[in-house]
Homo-oligomer: A and B are copies of this chain.
Amino acid sequence: MVTTVTLKDALIDSAKEVFETMVFMALAESDPVDLSGVTLLGSITFKGDMEGCLGICCDEACARTIAANMLGLDPDEGIGEEDVSDAMGEIANMVMGALKARIQDEVGTIEVSIPSVVQGRELKSNRGEGTCMIKVSVNIEEEFSAELSLLFRLHQD
């Protein structure tokens, strides 16, 4: 049976793996961070035996660096807003893929949708009735702060 503790660990491990191998950045759990300025939230929903939404939220400088590393460019090399948006969606998609691989034997079917990206201040993923939420603050390359979130509901017996 999957538990909130194992899910939290699987989420952190998945994010670490994706950040290290795909955008060459070290990621580690941190104390709670302040993300009240302008941030980008890349998120992706999933349904099946477990349904919910995985999100990763960080500020623009962090998102730009993720995009630059994904594209093999320098962060100052004029990366467009659309590229930054694509990168945030793609990183959410990849973390979700890594998480799915870790938990699907225990959870059952997980059908992943496509990512979407929202920008704003004081962003907060809202929880519906009966939904659990895991939030993990992380630092990336000890330079940036970000927050991983996993909202979920299990339909297992």
CA distance A53 to B117 in the complex (A): 10
The SS class assigned to the A binding surface is strand
Residues of chain B within 8 A (CB-CB) of A139 are none
Assess whether B113 is in contact with A45, with CB atoms less than 8 Å apart: yes
CA distance A152 to B108 in the complex (A): 30
Q: How large is the interface on A (under 10, 10 to 19, 20 to 34, 35 or more residues)?
A: 35 or more
Return the contact of A82 from the options B85, B86, B123, B128 (Cβ within 8 A).
B128
Chain A residues numbered 108-157 whose CB sits less than 8 Å from any CB in chain B: 113-129, 131, 151
Chain A residues numbered 70-104 whose CB sits less than 8 Å from any CB in chain B: 81-86, 88-89
CA distance A94 to B12 in the complex (A): 34
Distance in Å from the Cβ of A97 to the closest Cβ of chain B?
15
Assess whether A81 is in contact with B126, with CB atoms less than 8 Å apart: yes
Residues of chain B within 8 A (CB-CB) of A127 are 82, 85
**Which A residues are within 8 Å of any B CB, using their own CB?**
38, 40-41, 43-47, 51-53, 81-86, 88-89, 113-129, 131, 151
Instruction: List 19 additional A-B contacts (Cβ < 8 Å) besides A45-B116, A116-B125.
Output: A43-B116, A47-B114, A52-B114, A53-B114, A82-B126, A83-B129, A85-B126, A86-B128, A88-B126, A89-B128, A113-B113, A117-B125, A117-B128, A118-B123, A118-B125, A118-B126, A119-B124, A119-B126, A120-B121
